[in-house]
Amino acid sequence: MGEAAGVDRAWLLEYSADMLRFRNTHEWCRGQTSPYLAELQEAPVTLIAWLHKYMMQGQAVAVADVTELPRTARAIQVEFLRQGNKSVLSVPVLRDGKPRGIIGFDTTERHRAWAADEIDALFRCAGLIALARYDAPGRDRPQHQPSPARHAVDTRSPALIYLSMRGVVRGVQPESIVGVRSAGNYSEIWLDSGAMVLDSRALGLWSTLLPERIFFRIHRSAIINALHVLDVDRRSVDRWQIRMRSADRSWSVSRSYRQHLRERMGI
């Protein structure tokens, strides 16, 4: 798999039952790339704490340059550098909604900007590994449960949207995006965690990326997620305001989008 992907190292980590430790169960290395399988046995999860929090959320983490990781990732950055890594792609191995491990690629020869289709393909591999490794043969299945082959497809992680921040590409589920606001040639991406990511894509492009079933415009410079609307303040005829979950301030609704807001929110 690593050779086909054109990477220098491919690996699989497995969590302990209590999620406090992990071990490297499989590793492939290209050419002179050093292996670390023997060293990463029963290692504390605190070593990868920064990465672990994203794995727990079912998110991919694509690092194009390990030297540009944030300070909060210092521990894992040191480990990446020790292994000679330049770029790292990590995807959670999920079973029944719970991370069982992490599958990933490393490059040691040159930096690599991970493409969306590469990340999606690794998610597919993770789904198949989870099915083969953690779905015990002969385990009773409910009457309505699909066959294993169909189950492998249906349990694949939902389509993710990839955000770039400080050299780190994060895959997030669309539902976790509270809203998007224009910031000149950039866009502010507000997440349900309370974080804001400044993305290099303009709002017009974001309007094509976000699913219309839950996202809609309220202003020429703002798109919101209906799932995260707390309330709509219509007390002022001239100024309607929407309060969004986890956003720092209310969002204005322009007159031209009020009717659409009424229809979408049922008000």
Spell out the per-residue pLDDT of the chain, length 267, in tens. 888 889 999 999 999 998 988 999 999 999 989 988 887 888 888 889 999 999 998 889 999 999 998 888 888 998 999 999 999 999 999 988 889 999 999 999 999 988 888 888 999 899 999 888 887 555 444 444 433 333 333 333 446 777 766 656 677 888 899 999 999 888 899 999 888 888 877 888 888 888 888 899 999 999 999 989 888 998 888 889 999 988 778 999 999 999 988 888 777
- At residue 133, the pLDDT reads 84
Q: Domain locations in the chain?
A: 2-162, 174-265
Residue type, 53: K
- The residues near 213 (Cβ < 8 Å, ≥ 6 apart) are none
Helices and strands (H and E) in the chain: how many: 7, 16
Three-class DSSP category at 113: coil
121, with CB counted inside 10 A (0-12, 13-18, 19+), is middle
Q: Is the four-CA dihedral 171, 14, 49, 103 of positive or negative sign?
A: negative
Dihedral, CA atoms, 84, 110, 2, 88, nearest 10 degrees?
60
The rounded distance, in Å, linking the Cα atoms of 122 and 91 is 7
Selected from 3.40.50.300, 1.10.10.10, 3.30.450.40, 1.20.1250.20, the CATH number assigned to the domain covering 2-162 reads 3.30.450.40
Which of 207, 242, 202 minimizes the C-alpha distance to 226? 242
Q: What is the pLDDT of residue 154?
A: 33
Distance CA 77, CA 83 (A): 10
pLDDT at 169: 67
* pLDDT at residue number 150: 30
Tell me how long the chain is: 267
84, two tokens: 């000679």
Nearest to 176 by CA among 164, 156, 155, 162: 162
Q: Say which CATH class 174-265 falls into.
A: mainly beta
